[in-house]
Amino acid sequence: MSSRSDAGALERARRAGVLTAVLADPASVDEMLAALGDARLVVLAGYVKRIPPPVVARFRWRLINIHPALLPGFGGPGMYGGRVHAAVLASGVAVSGATVHYVEDEYDRGPIIAQWPVPVRPGDTPESLAARVLEVEHRLLPLVVLELARRGAPVAPVRLFAVGSAFVAGDKLGLEFEQGG
């Protein structure tokens, strides 16, 4: 589902046989609910529109998003894309990363599901940091989606933790589970 018909994710989804929808009015509760139907898991990726509260309530613990920083820092209204990475660099922190979280009524405030840190390097620009964080986002989100799908629809938030160091390069990230409260 997208608010833009030219979103690259739509074509990728179609190639994979996943149903897609383009919203004429992303603020329309009825249109969004109709597009989502009875989805067991709704995954946002690059969707910067606010999800209407009735949709959030309908898909409680089944509506997730990915953010290009370690929440709770560097999130909220207007914090997307290059703005996030510029803010991270301006703050002087040594670590950024990616966060998969549940969607709440407020931007980037839902319980965290999983995070993957990315070191901030001397000389980083918003573009160089963004490229490294995006690589991690592309690895973390599918792992979380698969793990949540394997577990089924939760009745409470799920929190996943990396086994070992997330800084170690490799093809697999082991995840352990801890029930949130």
- Active-site residue set: 67
Give the containing element (helix H, strand E) for 119.
Answer: strand 112-119
Length of the chain in terms of residues written = 181
End-to-end CA distance of the chain: 30
In our burial notation (b when 16+ CB lie closer than 10 A, e otherwise), range 55-64 reads bbebbbbbbb
Please give the Cα distance from 70 to 137 (Å, whole number). Answer: 11
Please give the Cα distance from 65 to 80 (Å, whole number). Answer: 12
Q: Are 62 and 75 in contact (CB under 8 A)?
A: no
Q: Which of 76, 74, 77 is nearest to 90 (CA)?
A: 74
Within 8 A by CB and 6+ apart from 71, the residues are: 99, 101, 108, 112, 115
